[in-house]
Amino acid sequence: MAQRYNRAEDMQNPTVSLRDFDTFGDVAAEDDPVLEYFLSTNAVESIRKNESFLVLGRKGTGKTAIVRHFTETGGSTSKALSLRGYPWNVHALRVDGGASDIEAYVSSWRYLIAVELASLVLKQEGAWQSSLINSLDNFLKENYGGSSPKLEDILRPKRLKLNKISFMPSVMGNQLGGVDLERSSRDHQFGLELNALTSAIMDAVRDALSWCKAESLSLHFDELDQGITVLDDSRERMIIGLIIAAREIKRESEKAGKPINPVVYLRSDIWEELNFSDKNKISQTLTHILEWNSATLLDLIETRIKAKLGTSASWDKIIEPELMRGSQPKWNHILSRTFLRPRDVIRFLNGALKEAKKRGVEPILLSNKDIVSSREDYSSYLKAELDDEIRPHWQQWGEALQACSAISTITFEKSDFEREYRARVSKETK
């Protein structure tokens, strides 16, 4: 019955005007009211079930959107940790001299994750029944002046104070009265002491969680790539350290009852640059790669159309029906100019929407001309987006593009490209 009713309605309204439709959304999830039209994907399912702790995706594939979904809807068991503006230079000094180069930052990240989890568990209903909760609370208050330290302050103290009302873990039979965070990069004790403290904190976190109504805790580390112009060794080792530390904490909690999942969201181009021994193992098992296709992207766009124009609206109703040149449907024409990323599609459609509104012909629908006219503006956007992804790995890619324009044919010989590219690169470095 319902279907027949819809069909009748369809007959009456074959199109829906975009007159009151202001935008397809902002291109960054931080500024987009994405939760009003969030599309739950298999990535969300995999994270919810704690099957993955590493989420990889190119720029604009929806990492931040997922973080917002987990941390802004339902309960307070998930916390977003944006590393935009993170003091990487302070963290860089917290080197574990007893570990290999690649693992030099694992102990500092383990500690940071433990402190974040401590502050999160303290907020859960029931946690205060744990006999260890006072130790956690005292430790945080003593060292950070409150139970919710800011992410950027966690590794900042020169020395962590320990005492009987917080924790006094032992290293080789000696009880620790404190842990110095500021020491020489060759100091072998740093990792041992900090790991002993982290274990004590995590034991308390797990005990407290066992008393809580909450079934699990999760942290969501986003924007690790913010501000990277060149991926240097130290930043690379810090990112590897976070991934290894998150995996260890996740694993240790699996044995102990309720799941704890520190999830790391990373741009795939940066992941590809990293080198460490468990990389392949992690990508085979605990990683989710964000990928979209024509059907899922259409679903994402239609969810937006329906949220704003009502459930009977759809893609077909907001476009003029003529096919594009080469009998191509508009949707395919747009998609073939994107990297199958939501951000590209949203950006392209916003441009076309602007053109349609400029024409102002009622009903306002996207026409072939609107799509073609918005391509130039879209190209500048795409170039800037690619700049962010490619420049950290290939500083001269701008010169490579100029070389292609200078050749100005779609197909060319490799040697032509090399000649033009070399001429530009050497001019730059003179």
Ligand X SMILES: Nc1ncnc2c1ncn2[C@@H]1O[C@H](COP(=O)(O)OP(=O)(O)OP(=O)(O)O)[C@@H](O)[C@H]1O
Q: How far is the CB of 367 from Mg ion (least distance, A)?
A: 32
Determine the distance from the C-alpha atom of residue 3 to the mean position of all C-alpha atoms in its chain, rounded to a whole number: 39
Binding to ligand X by residue 115, rule CB under 6 A? no
Q: CB nearest ligand X: which residue? A: 62
Binding to Mg ion by residue 374, rule CB under 5 A? no
Q: How far is the CB of 137 from ligand X (least distance, A)?
A: 34
The interface with ligand X within residues 33-52 (CB under 6 A) comprises 34, 37-39, 41
Q: How far is the CB of 263 from Mg ion (least distance, A)?
A: 13
- Name which of Mg ion, ligand X, none residue 267 binds, using a CB cut-off of 5 to 8 Å depending on partner kind: ligand X
CB nearer ligand X, residue 37 or residue 144: 37
Q: How far is the CB of 347 from ligand X (least distance, A)?
A: 9
CB nearer ligand X, residue 60 or residue 191: 60
Q: How far is the CB of 120 from Mg ion (least distance, A)?
A: 22
Q: How many chain residues are in contact with Mg ion, going by CB under 5 A? A: 2
Question: What would the x/- binding string for ligand X be over residues 214 to 253, using CB under 6 A?
Answer: ----------------------------------------
Task: Of 260, 140, 258, give the one whose Cα is nearest residue 197.
Answer: 140
d(CA 357, CA 364): 7
Q: How far is the CB of 58 from Mg ion (least distance, A)?
A: 11
Pairing outcome for strands 170-171 and 174-175: antiparallel
User: Could you tell me which stretch among 19-27, 158-166, 190-198, 202-210 binds ligand X (CB under 6 A)?
Assistant: 19-27
The interface with ligand X within residues 341-360 (CB under 6 A) comprises 342-343, 346
Q: Which two tokens stand for residue 361?
A: 């012909």
CA separation (Å) from 197 to 9, 25, 54, 284, 375? 65, 45, 25, 32, 56
User: Could you tell me which stretch among 62-70, 141-149, 307-315, 362-370 binds Mg ion (CB under 5 A)?
Assistant: 62-70
Binding to Mg ion by residue 64, rule CB under 5 A? yes
Burial class of residue 68 (count of CB atoms within 10 Å of its CB; 0-12, 13-18, 19+) = buried
The interface with Mg ion within residues 185-224 (CB under 5 A) comprises none
d(CA 398, CA 391): 8
Q: How far is the CB of 351 from ligand X (least distance, A)?
A: 14
- For helices 233-255 and 189-210, what crossing angle results, to 10°? 40
Return contacts of 97-101, CB within 8 angstroms, 24+ apart: 97/184, 97/185, 97/186, 97/187, 97/188, 97/190, 97/191, 98/187, 98/188, 98/189, 98/190, 98/191, 98/192, 99/191, 101/237
Selected binder of ligand X within 18, 57, 149, 317 (CB under 6 A)? 57
d(CA 314, CA 303): 9
Helices (H) and strands (E) in the chain, counts: 17, 9
Task: Of 286, 245, 288, give the one whose Cα is nearest residue 268.
Answer: 288
- Name which of Mg ion, ligand X, none residue 218 binds, using a CB cut-off of 5 to 8 Å depending on partner kind: none
The interface with ligand X within residues 58-77 (CB under 6 A) comprises 59-65
Q: Which residues contact 364 (CB under 8 A, 6 or more apart)?
A: 17, 18, 19, 356, 357
Selected binder of ligand X within 25, 149, 169, 351 (CB under 6 A)? 25
DSSP structural state of residue 287: E
- Name which of Mg ion, ligand X, none residue 91 binds, using a CB cut-off of 5 to 8 Å depending on partner kind: none
Q: How far is the CB of 267 from Mg ion (least distance, A)?
A: 9
CB 231 within 8 A of CB 88: no
**Torsion, Cα of 159, 208, 75, 343 (10° steps):** 50
Question: What would the x/- binding string for ligand X be over residues 280 to 319, using CB under 6 A?
Answer: --------------------x-------------------
Q: How far is the CB of 47 from ligand X (least distance, A)?
A: 12
Tokens 């005292």, residue? 138
Q: Is the dihedral of CA 198, 203, 208, 212 positive or negative?
A: positive
Q: How far is the CB of 57 from ligand X (least distance, A)?
A: 5
CB nearer ligand X, residue 96 or residue 225: 225
Residues that bind ligand X (CB under 6 A): 25-29, 32, 34, 37-39, 41, 57, 59-65, 267, 300, 342-343, 346
The residues binding Mg ion (CB under 5 A) are 63-64
